[in-house]
Amino acid sequence: MDINQITNVRRFENFPKDDMNALALDMTHAVYPHDEIYGPTCSLEEYVDCPPDEVFKYLADVRTLAEWTYSLRDIEHVKDDLYVFTDKIGGKTKCFTKVESNAQARTVDFHCSWDQGDHLWMIYLMRVIPAQLVLNKPGSVVLWTNCHHPFYDKNPHPELAPDGRKVWVGDMWPFFYAGHDVEMKNLKHICEARHAQGLPIVPEVIA
């Protein structure tokens, strides 16, 4: 299955940055209050028509970030449970990533950082809830929260940035809700498409 052909899946490969920027700007003005954009947290939620254990398994596999996120690609193992992606939003920017998950609670936390892997300060907190429990129907509810760490406002290691990079991850904080909404819907559409067709939620090979 070519995930870029799944309806409404938007990734770097099939949805140009200019289109992504335009969509994020439109969504920000339309659906997210200004004071909350610049507030201390960014939270969103989504219903996924796929069993919660399967959605958890998909999220907990670090490789799947190369599928459902808009711009993390080219995963490489660094050491132990630390991996590094190229974040296409930042050109040649390296995004170091570690997953901390709990199968019983179905929580998946992504500890990340641009440019260096010693201090993973960008924390993406996710939880998968059985929809039967909260909506009285099959499937999953996925919750996702980010907190506004001070480093979003000021790069702690400007000397590590790749040559020519003009953007810092914190510059995009006003558009986190819009960008993460796109990614959450990617997660939804990918899991639902595979579940509906009886395919493994986590493929053996992730492009």
Specify the pLDDT at position 132: 98
Q: Domain holding 177: CATH number?
A: 3.30.530.20
Is 203 a domain residue?
no
Q: Is residue 145 part of a domain?
A: yes
Evaluate whether residue 202 is within a structural domain.
no
Q: Please give the pLDDT value at position 207.
A: 64
Q: What is the pLDDT of residue 29?
A: 65
* H-type alpha helices, 61-113: 65-68
Query: What is the structure's pLDDT at 205?
Result: 86
- 204, part of any domain: no
The pLDDT assigned to 149 comes to 97
State pTM to two decimals. 0.87
Residue 146 lies in a domain: yes
Q: Alpha-carbon distance 184 to 201, whole Å?
A: 16
Counting the structural domains of the chain, the total is 1
pLDDT score at 24: 85
pLDDT at 88: 95
- What single DSSP character describes residue 68? H
Specify the pLDDT at position 32: 57
Q: What count of other Cβ atoms lies within 10 Å of the Cβ of residue 45?
A: 12
Identify the bridge partners of residue 144 per DSSP, sorted by sequence position.
44, 126
Mean pLDDT in order along the chain per 10 residues (207 residues) = 89 92 80 64 96 98 97 97 96 97 98 98 98 98 97 97 95 92 98 97 86
C-alpha distances in angstroms, 110 versus 1, 96, 169, 178, 204? 26, 10, 16, 19, 21
What stretches of the chain adopt beta strand conformation (E)? 41-48, 72-79, 82-87, 93-102, 107-114, 122-130, 140-147
Q: Do 169 and 152 meet the contact criterion of CB atoms below 8 Å apart?
A: yes
* Tokens found for residue 40: 């201390």
What is the distance between the alpha carbons of residues 76 and 70, in angstroms, rounded to a whole number?
A: 18
Residue listed under structure tokens 């969504």: 27
Instruction: Look at residue 98 and tell me if it is in a domain.
Output: yes
Question: What local confidence, expressed as pLDDT, does residue 137 receive?
Answer: 98
Residue 186: closest CA among 53, 18, 29, 13: 13
The whole domain housing 148 covers 3-196
What pLDDT score was predicted for residue 206? 82
Whether residue 85 lies inside any domain: the answer is yes
3-class state of residue 100 by DSSP: strand
Domain membership flag for residue 67: yes
* Partners of 87 in beta bridges: 72, 93
